Amino acid sequence: MNFYKIWLRNISVFFLICSSFVSFAVVAQVDTFQFDKAENQERFRNLSNELRCPMCQNTSLSGSSGGVAEDLRREIYLMIKEGQTDREIKDFMFERYGDFIFYKPRLTVGTIFLWVGPAFFLLIGGCVGFSVFRSAQSLTLKNKTLTDSDQNKIESLLTREEQNLKIKGKTS
Partner 1 sequence: MLGYEMLKRLLPISAFFSFIAALAVGLFLENKDLPSVLVGKQVPSFSLKTIDGSLVTNNDLPGEIFLLNVWGSYCLPCLIEHPTFMSLTERGEIPVVGINYRDELNLADDWLKENGDPFLFSIADPSGRFGIDLGVYGAPETYLVDAEGIIRYRHVSVLNDSVWREVFLPLVKSLRTPKIALVGM
CB of 121 to partner 1, least distance (A): 9
**Does 63 sit near partner 1 (CB under 8 A)?**
no
Q: Which of 46, 98, 133, 157 binds partner 1 (CB under 8 A)?
A: 98
With 0-12 / 13-18 / 19 or more C-beta atoms within 10 angstroms meaning exposed / middle / buried, residue 3 is exposed
Among 14, 17, 88, 96, binds partner 1 (CB under 8 A): 96
Least separation in angstroms between residue 98's CB and partner 1 is 4
Answer positive or negative: Cα dihedral of 106, 111, 116, 122: negative
Calpha distance 137→57 (Å, rounded): 50
Cα separation, 106 vs 99, whole angstroms: 7
For position 97 contacting partner 1 by CB under 8 A, the verdict is: yes
Pick from 15, 21, 24, 100 the residue near partner 1 by CB under 8 A. Answer: 100
Pick from 47, 61, 72, 89: which binds partner 1 (CB under 8 A)? 72
Q: How far is the CB of 9 from partner 1 (least distance, A)?
A: 48
Coil, helix or strand for 102?
strand
Residue 155 CA to residue 109 CA, distance in Å, equals 66
Interface stretch with partner 1, choices 12-20, 35-43, 93-101, 164-172 (CB under 8 A): 93-101
- What is the distance, to the nearest Å, from the Cα of residue 46 to the centroid of all Cα atoms in its chain? 19
Of these, 30, 40, 59, 75, which contacts partner 1 (CB under 8 A)? 75
User: What phi-psi label fits residue 57: left (phi over 0), alpha (psi between -120 and 50 degrees) or beta?
Assistant: left
What residues line the site for partner 1 (CB under 8 A)?
A: 54-55, 57, 66-68, 70-72, 74-75, 94-98, 100, 128
